[in-house]
Amino acid sequence: MAVALACFLVSAALAVLGTYRDIGKANESVADDVIKQLQNQLFRIESDSALSAEFPDWTPITQRVQNAGQCIQFAGPDGSISRSSCVGFNSGDGVPQTWFSSLGKSLLVARTDIARPVPYGGKTYGTVIVTMEGAAVLAAVWNDVSGLLGLTALVVGAICLLQYVAISRALRPTKEILVGLDRLTLGDLSYRLPKFRLIELQRISEVFNTLAAGLERTTRERTALAARLVDGQEQERRHLARELHDELAQNLSAISAGAASIKATAETECPGLLSEANSLSQTSMAMMKTLRSTLQALRPPEIDDFGLAASLASLAKTQERRAGGKLKILLDVEGDLQGLPPAAAAHVYRIVQEGLTNIGKHANASRARVALDIRPKLPEQAASQRRWLALTIEDNGCGAVERRESAESHGFGLVGMRERVMALGGQLDVIDLGGQGFKLHAMIPFDGPSGLLP
C-alpha cells in the first residue's frame, strides 16, 4: 500500500505539472492568436481601412480560441487595462471534491498567466495578458487526478488481495507446525511434520522431525531404564515380602505357639515362669505385628486381591490413623482402574503412598485429596488412540519449598515419584499453590484400550 500510494503521489504530481503545462501552452496559443489579430488590425488602421478607435479588437477570433474560464486583457503602454473579455466557467461541470478544492487553494498556487507584448513597425503598442480562472485550473487538475485516484484504489485493492492470497497460501502449513508443537508439548513424540514446498518451512519441518525423533529415542531409553529400575525395586520388594512371609512369619508363629505352650505348662507346674512366658508371648505378638506392617509396606495384598482402588482406600485410612485424626484424606476415583496392569497399579500405588507420606511428615496439612481419572483421550488428540490416567495429589499445608527440599533429601521423595511416572511414560508437574498448599499432577499415557505405554 505504501508503494502504491507513493506511485500515486508521483503520478499525481506529474499529472498536475502536465495540466499546468497544457494550460500554459493554451494561454500562449491564445495570446499568439490575439497578437496576430491586433497586428492585422494595426495594419488596416495604417492603411486607413479601419478606425484607430476600435483598437484593440479581437472579437473575430474570440469564439474560436477562447476557452471556458479564460480571460484576455490588453494593457496599454502606461499599464492601464483598456479592454478585457472573459468566458465564464460553469462550476457545475467537472467540479472537484470540496476537500480537493480546499487542498488546491492552499497547495496548487502555480500561476498560468501569460503576458506578451504587441509589437508593430518597431513600436510596442501594449501587452496582451491571458489568464485562467483558478476554479477552471482546479477542475482540469481534478479531472486528471480523479482518474489516477480511482486507478490507485483499484491497484491497492488488487495488491492487498494478491498479497493476502499469496501469504495465506505460503503460511498455511504453519497451522500444521503449531499442531506438531502442541502434540510435542503433550508428550506425543511420534508425530512428524510433512514436507513443505516453501524452503524455510521445509527446513523447520526437517529440524522438528529430527528433534522429535531424538527426543522420542532419548525418552524411550530413559523410560525403559526407569522402568527397569522401578520394576527391579518392586520385584525385590515382592521377593523380600515373600521371604519374610514364608520364613520369618512361620518362625514367629512357632515362637508364639511355644510361648503359649510354656504359659499353659507354667500355670500348673511352675507359676514362677508365668511372667517370662507372658513376656515372650507379648514379644512374639509385637514382632508379628511389626512384620505384618512391614509386609503391608512392601507389597499391599489388596493390590493383588481387591485392586488399586481398594488399596488406595486402605492406604488413605492408614495415613489418617497415623496422623491421629488431624489429617482428612479424600479419595476421588473416576473411571475403571481394573484395566491397569499389575506393575502399573503398583507404581501408581507407590506414587500415592510417597505423596501421602510426605504430606503427613512435612505438610502440616488438615486436608488432602487424591484424584485418579481415566480419560479416553485428550481434546487435542482427537485422532489418537492414546488414553490417559490423570493423577492429582494436593493438600492445604504450608512450607511447600521446605517440604520439597526435605522430601528430596530424605529417601527418594519427589525424585522417586518422577522415576516411577517416567517409567510409565508420563510426566509429573510440581505446583506450589503460593502458601495455600502443594499439588502434584501426573499424566500417564495409555496406548489403546488396555495396556500402558512401555
pLDDT of 422 higher than 60: yes
> Which residues have C-beta within 8 Å of that of residue 32, sequence separation ≥ 6?
116
Distance CA 447, CA 454 (A): 9
Summarised one tens digit per residue, pLDDT across range 24-41 is 888 889 889 989 988 898
Closest CA to 327 of 293, 352, 356, 351: 356
Distance CA 425, CA 418 (A): 10
Distance CA 320, CA 315 (A): 9
Distance CA 363, CA 440 (A): 13
Domain boundary among 168, 196, 223: 168
SS3 71: strand
Distance CA 235, CA 228 (A): 10
Whether 201 contacts 174, CB under 8 Å: yes
CATH number of the domain where residue 154 is located = 3.30.450
CATH number of the domain where residue 358 is located = 3.30.565.10
Domain boundary among 168, 190, 206: 168
pLDDT of residue 451: 46
Is 160 inside any structural domain? yes
Summarised one tens digit per residue, pLDDT across range 253-290 is 888 888 888 878 877 787 777 788 788 888 888 888 88
For the chain, percent of residues with pLDDT exceeding 90? 7
Distance CA 426, CA 389 (A): 9
Summarised one tens digit per residue, pLDDT across range 440-450 is 999 887 654 44
Is 29 inside any structural domain? yes
Q: Could you tell me whether strands 438-447 and 427-432 are parallel, antiparallel, or unpaired per DSSP bridges?
A: antiparallel
Is 400 inside any structural domain? yes
Is 193 inside any structural domain? no
Q: Which amino acid is at 449?
A: P
Q: Which amino acid is at 232?
A: G
Is 77 inside any structural domain? yes
Domain ranges, residue 112: 2-168
Is 358 inside any structural domain? yes
Distance CA 314, CA 351 (A): 15
pLDDT of 382 higher than 50: no
Domain boundary among 136, 168, 200: 168
State which H helix or E strand residue 272 sits in. Answer: none
Distance CA 69, CA 91 (A): 10
Is 207 inside any structural domain? no
Distance CA 215, CA 204 (A): 16
pLDDT of 370 higher than 90: yes
Whether 230 contacts 255, CB under 8 Å: no
Phi and psi angles of residue 350, each rounded to the nearest 5 degrees, phi first:
-65, -35
> Which residues have C-beta within 8 Å of that of residue 120, sequence separation ≥ 6?
38, 39, 42, 43
Is 417 inside any structural domain? yes
Secondary structure of 333-389 in HEC code, one letter for each residue: EECCCCCCCHHHHHHHHHHHHHHHHHHHHHHCCCEEEEEEEEECCCHHHCCCCEEEE
- Looking at the structure of the chain, the number of domains it has is 2
Beta bridge partners of residue 447, listed in sequence order: 386
Confidence of residue 348 (pLDDT cuts 50, 70, 90): confident
Confidence of residue 132 (pLDDT cuts 50, 70, 90): confident
Distance CA 414, CA 404 (A): 7
Confidence of residue 96 (pLDDT cuts 50, 70, 90): low
Cis peptide before 56 (omega within 30 of 0): yes
DSSP codes joined into one string, 207-230:
HHHHHHHHHHHHHHHHHHHHHHHH
pLDDT of 418 higher than 90: no
